[in-house]
Protein backbone atom coordinates (compact mmCIF):
# COMPACT_ATOMS: atom_id res chain seq x y z
CA UNK A 1 0.00 0.00 0.00
CA UNK A 2 1.41 3.37 -0.95
CA UNK A 3 1.94 5.78 1.95
CA UNK A 4 0.69 8.97 0.25
CA UNK A 5 0.62 10.91 3.52
CA UNK A 6 4.27 10.48 4.43
CA UNK A 7 5.45 11.06 0.84
CA UNK A 8 3.39 14.26 0.51
CA UNK A 9 4.30 15.61 3.94
CA UNK A 10 8.00 14.91 3.37
CA UNK A 11 7.95 16.69 0.02
CA UNK A 12 6.13 19.64 1.53
CA UNK A 13 8.68 19.87 4.35
CA UNK A 14 11.59 19.94 1.87
CA UNK A 15 9.94 22.70 -0.16
CA UNK A 16 9.15 24.64 3.01
CA UNK A 17 12.76 24.47 4.17
CA UNK A 18 13.85 26.38 1.04
CA UNK A 19 11.03 28.91 0.94
CA UNK A 20 10.48 29.98 4.53
CA UNK A 21 12.48 32.74 6.23
CA UNK A 22 14.22 32.02 9.52
CA UNK A 23 11.80 34.01 11.66
CA UNK A 24 8.95 31.83 10.35
CA UNK A 25 10.71 28.73 11.65
CA UNK A 26 11.22 30.44 14.99
CA UNK A 27 7.47 31.03 15.24
CA UNK A 28 6.92 27.42 14.17
CA UNK A 29 9.19 26.22 16.96
CA UNK A 30 7.24 28.31 19.48
CA UNK A 31 4.02 26.73 18.22
CA UNK A 32 5.48 23.25 18.59
CA UNK A 33 6.42 23.94 22.18
CA UNK A 34 3.03 25.40 23.13
CA UNK A 35 0.82 22.77 21.44
CA UNK A 36 -0.71 20.25 23.84
CA UNK A 37 -2.12 16.78 23.35
CA UNK A 38 -5.87 16.30 23.27
CA UNK A 39 -7.44 12.99 24.27
CA UNK A 40 -11.06 11.91 23.91
CA UNK A 41 -13.05 8.68 23.95
CA UNK A 42 -16.36 7.82 22.34
CA UNK A 43 -18.18 4.71 23.54
CA UNK A 44 -21.19 3.48 21.60
CA UNK A 45 -23.71 0.68 21.73
CA UNK A 46 -25.42 0.22 18.36
CA UNK A 47 -28.20 -2.33 17.92
CA UNK A 48 -29.73 -3.49 14.63
CA UNK A 49 -32.84 -5.63 14.10
CA UNK A 50 -33.10 -6.30 10.35
CA UNK A 51 -35.61 -8.60 8.66
CA UNK A 52 -33.98 -11.38 6.66
CA UNK A 53 -30.82 -11.60 8.76
CA UNK A 54 -30.56 -14.44 11.25
CA UNK A 55 -29.36 -12.56 14.33
CA UNK A 56 -29.71 -9.05 15.76
CA UNK A 57 -26.52 -7.01 15.94
CA UNK A 58 -25.19 -5.49 19.14
CA UNK A 59 -21.98 -3.55 18.58
CA UNK A 60 -20.28 -2.35 21.77
CA UNK A 61 -17.31 -0.33 20.53
CA UNK A 62 -15.10 2.51 21.67
CA UNK A 63 -12.83 4.93 19.85
CA UNK A 64 -9.85 6.45 21.63
CA UNK A 65 -8.43 9.50 19.85
CA UNK A 66 -5.14 11.25 20.55
CA UNK A 67 -4.65 14.57 18.73
CA UNK A 68 -1.74 16.96 18.50
CA UNK A 69 -2.96 19.87 16.38
CA UNK A 70 -1.08 23.16 16.23
CA UNK A 71 -3.22 26.32 15.88
CA UNK A 72 -3.53 27.32 12.23
CA UNK A 73 -1.92 30.74 12.64
CA UNK A 74 0.34 32.66 10.27
CA UNK A 75 3.24 30.66 8.91
CA UNK A 76 3.68 26.93 9.37
CA UNK A 77 1.69 24.53 11.53
CA UNK A 78 1.12 20.81 11.56
CA UNK A 79 -1.24 18.22 12.93
CA UNK A 80 -1.14 14.57 13.97
CA UNK A 81 -4.11 12.49 15.03
CA UNK A 82 -4.51 8.79 15.69
CA UNK A 83 -7.60 6.69 16.42
CA UNK A 84 -7.87 3.23 17.92
CA UNK A 85 -11.22 1.42 17.67
CA UNK A 86 -11.84 -1.62 19.84
CA UNK A 87 -14.68 -3.89 20.95
CA UNK A 88 -15.85 -3.99 24.55
CA UNK A 89 -17.42 -7.35 25.34
CA UNK A 90 -18.57 -9.89 22.78
CA UNK A 91 -18.28 -9.12 19.06
CA UNK A 92 -21.86 -9.50 17.82
CA UNK A 93 -22.00 -7.52 14.58
CA UNK A 94 -20.75 -7.62 10.98
CA UNK A 95 -18.00 -5.00 10.81
CA UNK A 96 -17.42 -5.76 7.07
CA UNK A 97 -13.99 -7.17 8.03
CA UNK A 98 -14.70 -9.78 10.74
CA UNK A 99 -16.72 -12.24 8.62
CA UNK A 100 -19.69 -12.38 11.03
CA UNK A 101 -22.28 -12.30 8.24
CA UNK A 102 -25.00 -13.84 10.40
CA UNK A 103 -25.35 -10.34 11.92
CA UNK A 104 -26.40 -7.05 10.26
CA UNK A 105 -23.65 -4.63 9.23
CA UNK A 106 -22.33 -2.07 11.70
CA UNK A 107 -19.42 -0.54 9.78
CA UNK A 108 -17.01 -0.09 12.69
CA UNK A 109 -13.91 -2.25 12.04
CA UNK A 110 -11.35 -2.38 14.85
CA UNK A 111 -7.72 -1.32 14.79
CA UNK A 112 -5.43 1.71 14.79
CA UNK A 113 -5.66 4.34 12.07
CA UNK A 114 -3.56 7.44 11.42
CA UNK A 115 -6.45 9.85 11.00
CA UNK A 116 -4.50 13.04 10.23
CA UNK A 117 -0.88 13.88 9.47
CA UNK A 118 -0.37 17.17 7.65
CA UNK A 119 1.80 20.24 7.22
CA UNK A 120 0.02 23.59 6.76
CA UNK A 121 1.17 27.04 5.68
CA UNK A 122 -0.92 30.18 6.10
CA UNK A 123 -0.19 33.64 4.72
CA UNK A 124 -3.05 36.09 5.16
CA UNK A 125 -6.08 34.78 3.27
CA UNK A 126 -4.14 31.88 1.70
CA UNK A 127 -3.85 28.46 3.36
CA UNK A 128 -2.05 25.45 1.87
CA UNK A 129 -2.33 22.03 3.51
CA UNK A 130 -0.44 18.91 2.42
CA UNK A 131 -0.93 15.43 3.82
CA UNK A 132 -3.69 13.44 5.49
CA UNK A 133 -6.51 15.76 6.50
CA UNK A 134 -10.23 16.40 6.83
CA UNK A 135 -11.99 18.00 3.86
CA UNK A 136 -15.54 19.09 4.62
CA UNK A 137 -17.57 20.99 2.03
CA UNK A 138 -20.72 22.77 3.18
CA UNK A 139 -23.26 20.36 4.66
CA UNK A 140 -21.03 17.45 3.51
CA UNK A 141 -23.58 16.25 0.94
CA UNK A 142 -20.81 15.77 -1.62
CA UNK A 143 -17.53 15.83 0.33
CA UNK A 144 -17.40 14.92 4.02
CA UNK A 145 -15.77 13.07 6.88
CA UNK A 146 -18.43 10.52 7.94
CA UNK A 147 -17.46 11.33 11.54
CA UNK A 148 -20.50 9.42 12.82
CA UNK A 149 -18.68 6.13 12.24
CA UNK A 150 -15.91 5.21 14.65
CA UNK A 151 -13.28 5.26 11.87
CA UNK A 152 -13.51 8.69 10.23
CA UNK A 153 -13.00 9.32 6.51
CA UNK A 154 -10.00 11.53 5.70
CA UNK A 155 -8.05 12.42 2.57
CA UNK A 156 -4.43 12.33 1.45
CA UNK A 157 -4.39 15.55 -0.51
CA UNK A 158 -2.97 18.93 -1.42
CA UNK A 159 -5.54 21.56 -0.45
CA UNK A 160 -5.36 25.27 -1.31
CA UNK A 161 -7.86 27.70 0.27
CA UNK A 162 -8.30 31.44 -0.14
CA UNK A 163 -10.80 32.98 2.28
CA UNK A 164 -11.99 36.60 2.14
CA UNK A 165 -14.80 38.56 3.80
CA UNK A 166 -17.47 37.77 1.23
CA UNK A 167 -15.89 35.03 -0.87
CA UNK A 168 -13.83 31.89 -0.56
CA UNK A 169 -12.36 29.50 -3.10
CA UNK A 170 -10.61 26.21 -2.68
CA UNK A 171 -9.06 23.41 -4.67
CA UNK A 172 -8.02 19.95 -3.47
CA UNK A 173 -6.03 17.37 -5.36
CA UNK A 174 -6.88 14.08 -3.64
CA UNK A 175 -4.44 11.18 -4.05
CA UNK A 176 -6.16 8.76 -1.69
CA UNK A 177 -9.44 8.44 0.24
CA UNK A 178 -9.05 6.77 3.63
CA UNK A 179 -12.50 5.27 4.01
CA UNK A 180 -14.49 4.27 7.10
CA UNK A 181 -13.87 0.58 6.34
CA UNK A 182 -10.20 0.77 7.40
CA UNK A 183 -7.64 0.34 8.58
CA UNK A 184 -7.38 -3.05 6.84
CA UNK A 185 -10.48 -3.33 4.65
CA UNK A 186 -12.62 -6.35 3.92
CA UNK A 187 -15.80 -6.60 1.88
CA UNK A 188 -15.27 -2.89 1.20
CA UNK A 189 -11.75 -1.52 0.47
CA UNK A 190 -10.17 0.52 3.23
CA UNK A 191 -8.98 3.12 0.74
CA UNK A 192 -9.48 4.39 -2.78
CA UNK A 193 -6.31 5.45 -4.50
CA UNK A 194 -6.84 7.80 -7.40
CA UNK A 195 -6.47 11.21 -8.91
CA UNK A 196 -9.43 13.39 -7.91
CA UNK A 197 -9.93 17.16 -8.15
CA UNK A 198 -12.36 19.06 -5.90
CA UNK A 199 -13.24 22.72 -6.61
CA UNK A 200 -15.60 24.88 -4.55
CA UNK A 201 -16.40 28.62 -4.68
CA UNK A 202 -18.59 30.43 -2.13
CA UNK A 203 -19.84 34.03 -2.36
CA UNK A 204 -21.86 36.01 0.18
CA UNK A 205 -23.22 39.04 -1.72
CA UNK A 206 -25.36 40.25 1.20
CA UNK A 207 -26.06 39.43 4.82
CA UNK A 208 -28.01 36.18 5.07
CA UNK A 209 -27.37 35.10 1.46
CA UNK A 210 -24.74 32.63 0.25
CA UNK A 211 -24.11 31.17 -3.21
CA UNK A 212 -21.86 28.22 -3.91
CA UNK A 213 -20.61 26.47 -7.02
CA UNK A 214 -18.64 23.27 -7.29
CA UNK A 215 -16.92 20.90 -9.69
CA UNK A 216 -15.88 17.42 -8.55
CA UNK A 217 -13.80 15.18 -10.80
CA UNK A 218 -13.60 11.91 -8.86
CA UNK A 219 -11.20 9.27 -10.14
CA UNK A 220 -10.99 6.18 -7.89
CA UNK A 221 -9.17 2.87 -8.18
CA UNK A 222 -9.15 -0.25 -5.95
CA UNK A 223 -11.98 -2.77 -6.31
CA UNK A 224 -15.30 -0.86 -6.51
CA UNK A 225 -13.58 2.51 -6.97
CA UNK A 226 -14.00 2.81 -10.77
CA UNK A 227 -17.76 2.17 -10.52
CA UNK A 228 -18.01 5.24 -8.27
CA UNK A 229 -15.81 7.55 -10.38
CA UNK A 230 -17.84 10.51 -11.62
CA UNK A 231 -17.83 14.11 -12.83
CA UNK A 232 -20.23 16.38 -10.93
CA UNK A 233 -20.86 20.10 -11.24
CA UNK A 234 -23.52 22.26 -9.66
CA UNK A 235 -24.60 25.28 -7.63
CA UNK A 236 -26.26 25.84 -4.26
CA UNK A 237 -27.93 28.72 -2.44
CA UNK A 238 -28.86 29.47 1.16
CA UNK A 239 -30.84 32.43 2.47
CA UNK A 240 -32.20 33.61 5.80
CA UNK A 241 -35.11 36.02 6.21
CA UNK A 242 -35.45 36.41 9.96
CA UNK A 243 -37.24 33.33 11.28
CA UNK A 244 -37.55 31.90 7.76
CA UNK A 245 -34.88 30.23 5.68
CA UNK A 246 -34.46 28.58 2.31
CA UNK A 247 -31.77 26.41 0.75
CA UNK A 248 -31.52 24.77 -2.66
CA UNK A 249 -29.01 22.91 -4.78
CA UNK A 250 -28.88 21.56 -8.33
CA UNK A 251 -26.18 19.40 -9.94
CA UNK A 252 -25.39 17.25 -12.95
CA UNK A 253 -23.33 14.06 -12.89
CA UNK A 254 -21.81 11.74 -15.49
CA UNK A 255 -19.24 8.95 -15.69
CA UNK A 256 -15.56 9.88 -15.40
CA UNK A 257 -12.13 8.28 -15.64
CA UNK A 258 -12.35 4.45 -15.73
CA UNK A 259 -16.02 4.16 -14.82
CA UNK A 260 -17.23 1.23 -16.99
CA UNK A 261 -20.85 2.48 -17.25
CA UNK A 262 -21.71 5.62 -19.25
CA UNK A 263 -24.49 7.67 -17.65
CA UNK A 264 -25.78 11.21 -17.26
CA UNK A 265 -28.13 12.15 -14.40
CA UNK A 266 -29.37 15.15 -12.44
CA UNK A 267 -29.79 16.07 -8.80
CA UNK A 268 -31.72 18.76 -6.97
CA UNK A 269 -32.95 19.57 -3.50
CA UNK A 270 -34.93 22.36 -1.89
CA UNK A 271 -35.57 22.93 1.82
CA UNK A 272 -37.60 25.50 3.73
CA UNK A 273 -37.13 26.16 7.44
CA UNK A 274 -38.99 28.11 10.08
CA UNK A 275 -37.88 28.94 13.62
CA UNK A 276 -40.51 29.40 16.29
CA UNK A 277 -39.29 29.85 19.84
CA UNK A 278 -36.82 27.07 20.71
CA UNK A 279 -37.90 24.84 17.79
CA UNK A 280 -36.62 24.77 14.20
CA UNK A 281 -38.95 23.16 11.64
CA UNK A 282 -37.72 21.96 8.25
CA UNK A 283 -39.39 20.45 5.22
CA UNK A 284 -37.57 19.42 2.09
CA UNK A 285 -37.55 17.45 -1.12
CA UNK A 286 -34.39 15.82 -2.50
CA UNK A 287 -34.08 13.96 -5.80
CA UNK A 288 -31.17 11.78 -6.90
CA UNK A 289 -31.93 11.17 -10.56
CA UNK A 290 -31.79 8.06 -12.72
CA UNK A 291 -30.59 7.46 -16.28
CA UNK A 292 -33.60 5.43 -17.54
CA UNK A 293 -33.35 3.08 -14.57
CA UNK A 294 -29.85 1.92 -15.55
CA UNK A 295 -27.65 4.17 -13.38
CA UNK A 296 -28.21 6.76 -10.68
CA UNK A 297 -26.70 9.85 -9.05
CA UNK A 298 -24.03 8.94 -6.46
CA UNK A 299 -22.30 10.61 -3.52
CA UNK A 300 -19.29 8.31 -2.96
CA UNK A 301 -17.33 10.54 -0.51
CA UNK A 302 -20.20 12.31 1.26
CA UNK A 303 -21.28 12.03 4.89
CA UNK A 304 -24.24 9.89 3.88
CA UNK A 305 -25.56 9.17 7.38
CA UNK A 306 -26.75 12.79 7.64
CA UNK A 307 -29.12 12.35 4.69
CA UNK A 308 -31.97 10.03 3.69
CA UNK A 309 -32.48 8.47 7.11
CA UNK A 310 -30.28 7.04 9.85
CA UNK A 311 -30.93 3.38 8.99
CA UNK A 312 -28.64 3.98 5.97
CA UNK A 313 -30.83 2.18 3.46
CA UNK A 314 -29.70 4.44 0.62
CA UNK A 315 -25.92 4.53 1.06
CA UNK A 316 -25.82 3.14 -2.47
CA UNK A 317 -28.43 4.87 -4.63
CA UNK A 318 -30.76 2.38 -6.37
CA UNK A 319 -30.54 2.38 -10.17
CA UNK A 320 -34.00 4.00 -10.33
CA UNK A 321 -32.81 6.92 -8.19
CA UNK A 322 -34.41 8.29 -5.00
CA UNK A 323 -37.00 10.93 -4.16
CA UNK A 324 -36.97 11.86 -0.47
CA UNK A 325 -39.72 14.06 0.96
CA UNK A 326 -38.99 14.84 4.62
CA UNK A 327 -40.16 16.75 7.68
CA UNK A 328 -37.80 17.57 10.56
CA UNK A 329 -37.91 19.41 13.86
CA UNK A 330 -35.22 20.18 16.44
CA UNK A 331 -35.54 22.01 19.73
CA UNK A 332 -34.14 22.43 23.22
CA UNK A 333 -35.55 21.49 26.60
CA UNK A 334 -33.13 22.89 29.14
CA UNK A 335 -29.69 21.76 28.00
CA UNK A 336 -31.03 18.76 26.06
CA UNK A 337 -31.49 18.90 22.27
CA UNK A 338 -34.31 16.85 20.76
CA UNK A 339 -34.71 15.99 17.08
CA UNK A 340 -37.31 14.10 15.02
CA UNK A 341 -37.50 13.36 11.29
CA UNK A 342 -39.94 11.62 8.95
CA UNK A 343 -38.99 10.45 5.45
CA UNK A 344 -41.07 9.23 2.52
CA UNK A 345 -38.93 7.48 -0.13
CA UNK A 346 -39.85 6.79 -3.74
CA UNK A 347 -37.99 5.95 -6.96
CA UNK A 348 -37.06 8.93 -9.13
CA UNK A 349 -37.71 6.79 -12.23
CA UNK A 350 -41.01 4.90 -12.23
CA UNK A 351 -42.27 6.13 -8.86
CA UNK A 352 -41.84 2.84 -6.97
CA UNK A 353 -42.79 3.25 -3.30
CA UNK A 354 -39.57 2.39 -1.47
CA UNK A 355 -40.65 2.90 2.14
CA UNK A 356 -40.90 5.23 5.15
CA UNK A 357 -38.55 6.10 7.99
CA UNK A 358 -38.91 7.76 11.39
CA UNK A 359 -35.87 9.05 13.34
CA UNK A 360 -35.53 10.37 16.89
CA UNK A 361 -32.54 11.76 18.79
CA UNK A 362 -31.88 13.24 22.22
CA UNK A 363 -28.49 14.70 23.19
CA UNK A 364 -27.36 16.50 26.30
CA UNK A 365 -24.09 17.57 27.93
CA UNK A 366 -23.11 16.43 31.42
CA UNK A 367 -20.72 19.10 32.62
CA UNK A 368 -17.93 20.24 30.32
CA UNK A 369 -16.29 16.89 29.59
CA UNK A 370 -19.07 14.36 29.10
CA UNK A 371 -21.79 14.18 26.45
CA UNK A 372 -24.67 11.71 26.08
CA UNK A 373 -26.65 10.84 22.95
CA UNK A 374 -29.58 8.54 22.25
CA UNK A 375 -30.80 7.84 18.71
CA UNK A 376 -33.54 5.62 17.32
CA UNK A 377 -34.49 4.90 13.70
CA UNK A 378 -37.16 2.69 12.12
CA UNK A 379 -37.35 1.95 8.39
CA UNK A 380 -40.62 0.44 7.17
CA UNK A 381 -40.01 -1.18 3.80
CA UNK A 382 -42.47 -1.20 0.93
CA UNK A 383 -40.60 -2.18 -2.24
CA UNK A 384 -36.96 -1.54 -1.29
CA UNK A 385 -34.73 -3.27 1.29
CA UNK A 386 -36.26 -4.74 4.48
CA UNK A 387 -37.79 -3.55 7.73
CA UNK A 388 -34.98 -2.36 9.99
CA UNK A 389 -34.81 -0.91 13.51
CA UNK A 390 -31.64 0.68 14.87
CA UNK A 391 -30.79 2.17 18.24
CA UNK A 392 -27.73 3.96 19.59
CA UNK A 393 -26.48 5.04 22.99
CA UNK A 394 -23.29 7.14 22.92
CA UNK A 395 -21.06 8.51 25.66
CA UNK A 396 -18.25 10.92 24.80
CA UNK A 397 -15.51 12.02 27.18
CA UNK A 398 -12.85 14.65 26.59
CA UNK A 399 -9.90 14.84 28.95
Mean pLDDT (whole number) for 284-291? 98
**pLDDT tier at 29, thresholds 50, 70, 90:** confident
pLDDT at 168: 98
Number of residues assigned to the chain: 399
pLDDT at 101: 96
How many angstroms separate the Cα of 11 from the Cα of each of 161, 162, 229, 281, 344?
Answer: 19, 22, 28, 49, 50
Each residue of 54-83: pLDDT tens digit?
999 999 999 999 999 998 888 999 999 999
Whole-number Å distance between alpha carbons of 83 and 180: 12
Of the candidates 384, 392, 390, the one whose C-alpha atom is nearest the C-alpha of residue 50 is: 390
Q: Which one of 2.40.160.10, 3.40.50.970, 3.30.70.360, 3.40.440.10 gives the CATH number of domain 4-398?
A: 2.40.160.10
pLDDT at 181: 97
**pLDDT tier at 1, thresholds 50, 70, 90:** very low
Whole-number Å distance between alpha carbons of 235 and 307: 18
**What are the boundaries of each domain within the chain?**
4-398
Each residue of 269-282: pLDDT tens digit?
999 999 999 999 99
Amino acid sequence: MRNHTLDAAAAAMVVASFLAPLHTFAEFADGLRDTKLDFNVRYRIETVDQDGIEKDARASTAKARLSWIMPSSEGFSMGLEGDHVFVIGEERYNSTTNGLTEYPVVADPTGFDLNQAYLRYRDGSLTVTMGRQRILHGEQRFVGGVAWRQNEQTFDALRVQSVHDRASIEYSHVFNVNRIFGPDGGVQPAEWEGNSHLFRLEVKPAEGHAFGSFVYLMDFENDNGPANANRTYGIDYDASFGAFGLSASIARQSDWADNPRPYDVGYYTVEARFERGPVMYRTGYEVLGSDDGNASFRHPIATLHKFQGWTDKFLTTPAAGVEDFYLKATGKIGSAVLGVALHDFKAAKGGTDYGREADLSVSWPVGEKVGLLFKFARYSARQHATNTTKGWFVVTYRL
